[in-house]
Chains A and B, each alone.
Chain A
Amino acid sequence: MARPGFVLEVDDRTPPLVVHEGAGYRLEKFPLGTQVVYPAEPLQAVEDLSETIAEALDQPTDSAPLDQLLRPGMKLTIAFDDISAPMPRMRRPDIRGRIIEAVLTRAAKAGVDDVALISAIGLNRRHTEAELQQILGERVFRSFYADGLLTNHDAEDADHLRAVGGEADEVALNARVVDSDLLIFVHVASDTREGGAVSVATGLGSAATIGQIRGLPGLVSTGAAAQRAGELVGASVPIFSVEAVLDNHVFAAPLEFLGKREWEWSVRDQVTWLGLRRALAISPSKARQRLVDAVPAGYAVIGVNAGAPSAVRAKSTALVLSQQLVEVQGQADVGVIGVPHQTPYSLDSVTNPILAAWSGLGAAFGAHTGKPFVREGGALVLYHPMPIEFSPLHHPSYVDFFADVLTTTTDPLQIQEKFEAKFATDPWYSHLYRTSNAFHGMHPFHTWYQIAAARSHCSDIVWVGADRRSVERMGFRAASTLADALEIVSSTVGRSPSIRYLHNPPQIIADVR
């Protein structure tokens, strides 16, 4: 039985604790009384994955078994979400490849000829061939890719997008999906957001559709826009949803100790830690990034659910929560978050300052059951070096967003009014998104909007060890050490605030009572 997550209160005997800061780690001695939220240990993995998958497909929730949905002559589309989940990437074989192989076997048995695979990238970057192989496995890739039956979704391809639902153009989806008799959507559930029919809209919709959900109006409507889009999608396309839920085994050997509690490190762990620290200290930044990127996560599958999207979503959410939820008492004055080296949007790439900010303020801070772990008007202290570096291949629009937009304003509303339309229609971004491996021109806007909640909730946001220029550009503050950061925020939270450190990754969903 895995140990659940818990809250440690720092006392004299507490050793310095690991804090992630980009492509590096530091050991931080927290003030006495700091509450440290530790994630649960990984739950029991399923014993026989093939059997679990078969079981899910044969006994789906609120749906007929998959075999009965397949018939000769039908048009079948299998969509799967992109490499941004899970993060870090899992070891081969990817669970989606396993599920899709099972689905394809059944489809072949049922005599379905017209099968197409679409990577539901939404506004994320197109996959490379290697990445598609990574997700699907070599066999599936080889069978479909050369014939053009395995494609990346294109949210800007007006010729192959079709409006669904009543009112004109409210939601537009990939035409192949709309034309299909059945859409099988294979999803890895790593958080409680989206999933189900909403993921179909955000993964396979037009740029405008995704903008409605992820853009400012969608965020303001607190899920209403997403729900409406999901309903429209669900009403127009028959969806058979398959969702796999992973445990939180983020650190595989030899870095397994990073997932352990520090006082339980063995001598071997401590030696590895010292070696790792030395290696990171002497490596140039690019080598450091490669070093920490090199180890894929050791994820195991803890459950596979299939059937009607909403029912599947509910089951997956429950399973995700059982793995990630940690109960904490009350809201703290100061929250501390270490931002790790990878974000879903910077795999094999550069974590630019905006993505780093999103990773801490959007993903980590936003993971809660309705109440953030820091009180309103409290302060956040985050760790990341935030170098001003961008990938010209993956993040061309981020470069301009950082240089042109953030120098004008950091206010989401003004940004939306002044800049969003220009970036959304920029032909160069569009060209790179459609033909190269660039994120869409709207992408930086969506990530920035997701930071807004943390920005308005907290009175002070301080980054420890960050490049002062980039932090200032984004409207935050920089400090060299935790002590300095606490000094800076003392004007709003006082000299002896209650401090709470979110010991992530692995991802923690805070259940604040």
Chain B
Amino acid sequence: MSTAPAVAFGAHRPGTERTDRPLLDGRLKDLLAGKKILLTGVTGFIGEQLLWKILSELPDTVPAVLVRQKGSATARARMVGVVKKKIFTEVREAAGGAEELLDSRIDVIQGDLPNVPALPTDIDVVVHCAGDVSFDPPINQAFTTNVIGTKALMDRLIEACSDEDGVLRKIPHYVHISTAYTAGRRRGAIPEAPHVHSIDYDAETTAGLAMRDLIEAESRTAEQLTRLRKEAEREHRVAGYLTTAADTERRRKEWVQAKLVEAGTERARSLGWTDVYTFTKALGERVVADLGAKIRISVVRPSIVESSWLHPYPGWIEGFKMAEPLILAFGRGELPEFPASPDAVIDIVPCDHVVNAIVAVCATEPEIGKAEYYHVSSGARNPLTFQGIYGMLHAYFTAHPFEGGERGAAQLPNWQFPGAASVERLLSTSERAHGVAERVLAKAPRSSRARTIAKDLDRIRGRLDFLRRYLSLYNEYGQSELHFVDDNTLALTGSLHPDDQPRFAFDTSVFDWRTYIEEVHCPSITAPIRRLDAIRRKRGNRPSTMKDLSRNTAGEQALAVFDLDGTIMSTNVIEQYLWARLPELSTAGQIGEVGQVLRRLPSYIRAERRDRGSFLRAVYRRYRGADLAALEESIDTTLAPHVLSRLSPEAVRRVREHRAAGHTTVLITGALRPLTRPLRPLFDVIVAADLATDADGRCTGFLTGPPLVGESRAAWLQHYASLHGIDLGRSFAYADSHSDLPMLSCVGNAVAVSPDVPLMRAAGANQWSVVEWKIRPTTPRWTLPR
């Protein structure tokens, strides 16, 4: 089949033309005068402009709006917010203010879909344009909104128009805003008529809603939870059980969500629809036809609604719609290919045309019980192909590139339209390569190079995820070969009173796509992005938990907590052990000891990756038999310079700045207490591991208590804070490793110091500053203290 324009089908043979179309026979303001129109979805894109249109063009029409409470914002408060927007300026000022406008012209009803409250009895027209904008909602949500919600609204409407016996007192007009894509995976010409299918929407709805409990239950099975926990552990084990648990639960919820989406998509596809959105919308149309047997019903099916052509001003748009993320990604050079057929039609319609069509439909009087369908689309008579829009976008972004920062404007991709399969191959190859790189990185030792690579990988991951999501979502639309017949709509716009034509026309063949895309739509949607970019460039993109302390007023209320190894000092406990033990041994003994440690190194590394606490215990076991007093003495005399020469100068400066600001400085480390002795003057409190000794003062190889690592640090901090009147929200913490995540999370100003990759990612997610404190010991690593 072809998507060729309407002319390809030839003209109507005389006599086959429909003659019973409901048309207009007067000015719209007169036709709708004295009528009350109930609108849903006025806080949305189409609803907002529809409300504006009624308020500004139909002076004698009363809009009623059904708005749900959102959080603590009541329906009325939300409506105040809506009418304070720029497009309402004129009507608002005419009424004397936002509140006055609501009082004088708008009937606000607080309510929710599907829990619709009783509606006023004087409603003449209902326009239902509330709905999900997402193409891939979870299956239960899609059914709730599009089927149950529609049903509930119609039930309440009929109730409100009926007397006690259920007999209709008046015949309201119900206008249902659907989408042209309810045609699903059909091909070719789609008539303005009900879609042919024999799906039992009640059964589908029940099954769809049941998925939630089913998947929720499945997510709680032992196998599933074990799998999720293991995944979480792989990433967060070192941070501790609670962090892992929190992550496991997050993963479970994500899994449930993903499964519900998947269930929706698959059910839709199994019945011939692209996704659950269009599927449930199609069922919604069927609900309307069934329930509206005794009233007037119209179904408006817009295609892809984008920014306005003329009203309220060219380019008016609220929020991001379907095509915007892709257009912006194209402009940033991040959309290397698109899986569309170059000759496929992208059926875009400006928002003001949709709104005008709806207003006109409201003014018609269709036959009772016989639904009228209107396609508000452009593809039939003014088609825009993907090849065409690509050329326009390329031209627009070549002429008006995004400010590229220090690297100049991004290079625009050169689409070849190689076909969906090839794009998919490219994407999945990239994803596999990314996966391999990620696994290699996980094994790499910590270094600033690893961090740079990780940052690059994360950026690539972000792009791949974006592409994967959007391409899978829009893949079908990119190859759509639908031809939406819009004879009804055309006839309706043709019947507009000549005086209404300038303000209410909605013939989508009147405009030129190049003008629309390059001069109206793209400038409008890129403007806020350009503004944001400018702001970001101005203030820099750095979160700053690394605050200037010279004007800090927290004083005694604040703690400054520092981790030792890797944060303020470049050592590790194995190295410390060798420093402490080797000098007292003979050369042969030294070689033997180093040999033993080396032999056990793999097991230490395994332990470290598993659990830092058991790693520390394993290493400290080696201190068995050492004389603690002698150890301390040797640390004070020979090891202290070694320790001090491995301090990071920046770290010491920071500690001292905290002291100068009156904060309590705390050193929390899993290292042995004797090793922290040279640092005592810097810290008010030192929490370190203590070696247990026997009666002779010799180390038993055990600790006096568990080493303070991971979540125990957070617990220690919270308890210390409660005992000393510390405000953790104003406190500071500095650490380098993922295992310190709980500690960093419990203070207000956390700083990641030369972090490992997982902590760097956590810091990015939490907006923590990342600093590099260079540690350049003058003596090489392997030098023993002398």
Contact = CB atoms under 8 A, between A and B. Distances in A.
Given A391-B778, A392-B648, A436-B641, 11 more contacts: A128-B641, A348-B778, A349-B778, A389-B776, A392-B644, A392-B645, A392-B652, A392-B775, A394-B778, A400-B653, A436-B644
Contacts, number: 53
Nearest to B645: A393
B778 A350 contact: yes
B525 interface: no
Interface in A370-389: 389
A129 B786 contact: yes
A128 B778 CA distance: 15
B215 interface: no
14 contacts: A286-B776, A349-B778, A391-B645, A391-B778, A392-B647, A392-B652, A394-B645, A399-B653, A400-B656, A427-B681, A428-B656, A432-B644, A436-B640, A436-B678
Interface in A272-306: 286
Task: Pick the most buried of A130, A392, A393, A436: most chain B CB atoms within 10 A of its CB.
Answer: A392
Nearest to B681: A431
Contact of B649 (A392, A431, A435): A392
B133 to A, nearest CB: 52
B682 A399 contact: no
B653 A393 contact: no
Contacts of B653: 399-400, 403
A390 B681 contact: no
Interface in B727-759: none
Interface in B652-674: 652-653, 656
B646 interface: yes
A391 B644 CA distance: 9
Interface in A417-476: 427-428, 431-432, 435-438
A348 B779 CA distance: 8
A348 B647 CA distance: 17
B768 to A, nearest CB: 23
A234 interface: no
Interface string B530-542: 0000000000000
In the complex, the 6 A-B pairs of residues with the closest C-beta atoms, listed nearest first: A393-B645, A399-B649, A392-B647, A431-B681, A393-B644, A392-B649
Contacts of A393: 641, 644-645, 647, 778
A435 B776 contact: no
Contacts of A392: 644-649, 652, 775
A390 B681 CA distance: 21
A290 to B, nearest CB: 8
A435 B682 CA distance: 14
Interface of A: 128-130, 286, 348-350, 389-394, 396, 399-400, 403, 427-428, 431-432, 435-438
Question: What does DSSP make chain B's interface, helix, strand, loop or mixed?
Answer: helix
Nearest to B638: A129
A391 B780 CA distance: 13
B421 to A, nearest CB: 50
A57 to B, nearest CB: 33
Interface string B89-131: 0000000000000000000000000000000000000000000
Contacts of A390: 649
Given A130-B786, A391-B778, A392-B647, A435 B640 contact: yes
Contacts of B648: 392
A400 B649 CA distance: 9
Interface residues of B, number: 19
B682 A428 contact: yes
A438 B780 CA distance: 19
A438 B776 CA distance: 16
Contacts of A130: 786
A436 B785 CA distance: 13
B583 to A, nearest CB: 12
A399 B786 contact: no
A130 B648 CA distance: 25
Contacts of B641: 128, 393, 436-437
A286 B777 CA distance: 10
Contacts of B682: 428
A211 B732 CA distance: 38
Contact of B681 (A286, A394, A428): A428
B448 to A, nearest CB: 15
Nearest to A432: B644
Contacts of B645: 391-394
A436 B647 CA distance: 13
Nearest to B656: A428
Contacts of B786: 128-130
Nearest to B640: A436
Contacts of A427: 681
A254 B653 CA distance: 42
Nearest to B682: A428
Nearest to A402: B649
A389 B778 CA distance: 10
Contacts of B678: 436
Contacts of B652: 392, 396, 399, 428
Task: Pick the most buried of B653, B776, B786: most chain A CB atoms within 10 A of its CB.
Answer: B776
A422 to B, nearest CB: 10
A396 B640 contact: no
Interface in B631-647: 640-641, 644-647
Interface string B577-602: 00000000000000000000000000
A348 B645 CA distance: 12
Nearest to B776: A389
A428 B682 CA distance: 7
Interface in B269-325: none
A214 B780 CA distance: 34
Nearest to A348: B778
A431 B678 CA distance: 10
A237 to B, nearest CB: 31
A396 B681 contact: no
A389 B640 CA distance: 21
B58 to A, nearest CB: 68
Interface in B752-784: 775-776, 778, 780
Contacts of A432: 644
A156 B640 CA distance: 20
A396 B649 contact: yes
Contacts of B647: 392-393
B686 to A, nearest CB: 15
Contacts of A396: 649, 652
Contacts of A128: 641, 786
Contacts of A403: 653
A127 B776 CA distance: 21
Contacts of A437: 641, 644
Task: Pick the most buried of B645, B646, B778: most chain A CB atoms within 10 A of its CB.
Answer: B778
A291 B780 CA distance: 13
Contacts of B649: 390, 392, 396, 399
A206 to B, nearest CB: 21
Contacts of B775: 392
Nearest to A403: B653
B632 to A, nearest CB: 14
A432 B680 CA distance: 11
Nearest to A130: B786
A418 to B, nearest CB: 15
A342 to B, nearest CB: 13
A435 B778 CA distance: 19
B288 to A, nearest CB: 71
Nearest to A129: B786
A400 B651 CA distance: 12
A447 B647 CA distance: 24
Nearest to A289: B778
Contacts of A391: 645, 778
Contacts of A435: 640
Contacts of A436: 640-641, 644, 678
Contacts of B778: 286, 348-350, 391, 393-394
A432 B678 CA distance: 9
Contacts of B646: 392
Nearest to A431: B681
